[in-house]
Amino acid sequence: MKVAVVVGTRPEIIKMAPVIFELEKRGIDYIFIHTGQHYDYELSTQFISELGLPKPDYFLKLNYNDPPAYISEIMIGLWGIFRTSDPDIVLVEGDTNSVVASALTALKMNIKIGHVEAGLRSFDWRMPEEHNRIIVDHISDVLFAPTEGAKNNLVIENIHGKIFVTGNTIIDSVILYMPVAEKQSKIMEHIKFKEYALMTVHRAENVDNTQVLRNFINLCLKSPIPIVFPIHPRTFKRLKESGLDRALTNSPNVQLFPPLGYFDFLMLMKNCKLILTDSGGLQEEATAPPIRKPVIVLRLSTERPEAVEAGFARVVGVNCEDILKSVYDVLKGKFIPASKSPFGNGKASKKIVDIVSDNILR
């Protein structure tokens, strides 16, 4: 009996790492596949190695950048791999184009599909991720919902697969890797502020909109607390195209970094005062016991309402003054996270492998 674990982006690798370790711990036969969606071979294998994961058994090299073309490439590549390796179940995580391509390939080859982090909904059809997660949920056989709220979304949509509430594997990963980050990361030696807010923005609906970008720049310049800003390549490209990059680079209130490794980023989250982001994953990571930081969500919606309900996150949109008000609330102690993460206790990967063993591999 065999499990295929398919990843395509860094967040997927981080969230599937504890699942892979659990499969190894139990001696379950698996193959590890990287679709090549985000990173070239050298960068990806280095990142995987840093996390202590084995080298992927297969690594697809994509020739195209537009989603329809590389989804097709991934499906053709996985068809050959699945035909040779004959897995009993394909495990995918999240809402990327790699996840859609992997799940569709498995469906057409009559292979069971397990969707880790199933049932998330933003109800915002502008987001490509919303299309992806709905498609994959409706064709999956086993759905690992991180919360009861995610499970309820699946029940309402009357999906055909079996639903299990497991918690989110990102909590497992933060607990697993924080001690490693504390030993290996040197990033805090380079931070020039005693207190700071950590900021990330990368979503197309934000960074492809010049007015929204301008709002974010004004936020950085006006913030009552300095901003540490690891800047996504897409974001920096848009800033340069809009002529907005100089305001950031010249500001004494902002410290820019290129994209950082996972361990450095964990340390920045642990030591910051608050997080400003349009990332979905950071809304989860911020709730992990080693971090527990308030998150100001720079979006109009979130597919992680549990973080909001638990007091960890506040969805404020993209208006500069609205964001600043929430920053002041954090600094005045009016916005304090709950003591317990709504995304589980760090045992999600164990539950997932238990379910796979009991329902698929017997």
Start-to-end Cα distance in the chain: 8
Q: How far apart are CA 196 and CA 125, in angstroms?
A: 34
Q: Is 37 left (phi over 0), alpha (psi -120 to 50) or beta?
A: alpha
Alpha helices for the chain (secondary structure H) = 10-26, 41-50, 67-85, 97-108, 128-139, 148-156, 169-184, 204-207, 210-222, 233-242, 245-249, 262-271, 280-285, 305-309, 320-331, 348-359
Residue among 197, 294, 306 nearest 253 (CA): 197
Count of C-beta atoms within a 10 Å radius of residue 244: 16
Tens place of pLDDT per residue across the chain (362 aa): 899 999 998 899 999 999 999 999 999 999 999 998 766 666 677 789 899 999 999 999 888 778 898 899 999 999 999 999 999 999 999 999 999 999 999 999 999 999 999 999 999 888 889 999 999 999 999 999 999 999 999 999 999 999 999 999 999 999 999 999 999 999 999 999 999 999 999 988 898 899 999 999 999 999 999 999 999 888 988 988 988 889 999 999 999 998 888 999 999 999 999 999 999 999 999 999 999 999 999 999 999 999 999 999 999 999 999 999 999 999 998 887 777 899 999 999 999 999 999 987 66
Class for the domain spanning 3-167+346-359: alpha beta
Active-site residue 34, yes or no?
Answer: no
Identify whether the C-beta of residue 17 lies closer than 8 Å to the C-beta of residue 176: yes
| CA-CA-CA-CA dihedral for 236, 240, 242, 245, to nearest 10 | 80
Domain range summary for the chain, segments of one domain joined by +: 3-167+346-359, 176-331
Q: How far is CA 110 from CA 35, 114, 139, 359, in A?
A: 20, 13, 11, 16
Contact in structure between 213 and 207 (CB atoms under 8 Å): yes
Joined together, the tokens standing for residue 97 give 């184009």
Give Cα separations from 153 to 94, 134, 150, 158, 323 (angstroms).
15, 10, 5, 9, 29
CATH superfamily, with its number, for domain 176-331: Glycogen Phosphorylase B; (3.40.50.2000)
User: Which residue among the candidates 38, 160, 190, 202 is catalytic per the annotation?
Assistant: 202
Structure tokens at 114: 């397990």
Q: Which residues contact 82 (CB under 8 A, 6 or more apart)?
A: 4, 90, 105, 106, 109, 111
What's residue 361's pLDDT?
66
Question: What is the distance between the alpha carbons of residues 67 and 72, in angstroms, rounded to a whole number?
Answer: 8
Instruction: Output the six-digit token pair for 173.
Output: 């990963």
User: Do residues 8 and 71 touch, judged by C-beta distance below 8 A?
Assistant: no
- How many Cβ atoms sit within 10 Å of the Cβ of residue 304? 31
What pLDDT, on the 0 to 100 scale, is given for residue 278? 95
Domains 3-167+346-359 and 176-331 share a fold: yes
Helix (H, G, I), strand (E, B) or coil at 254: strand
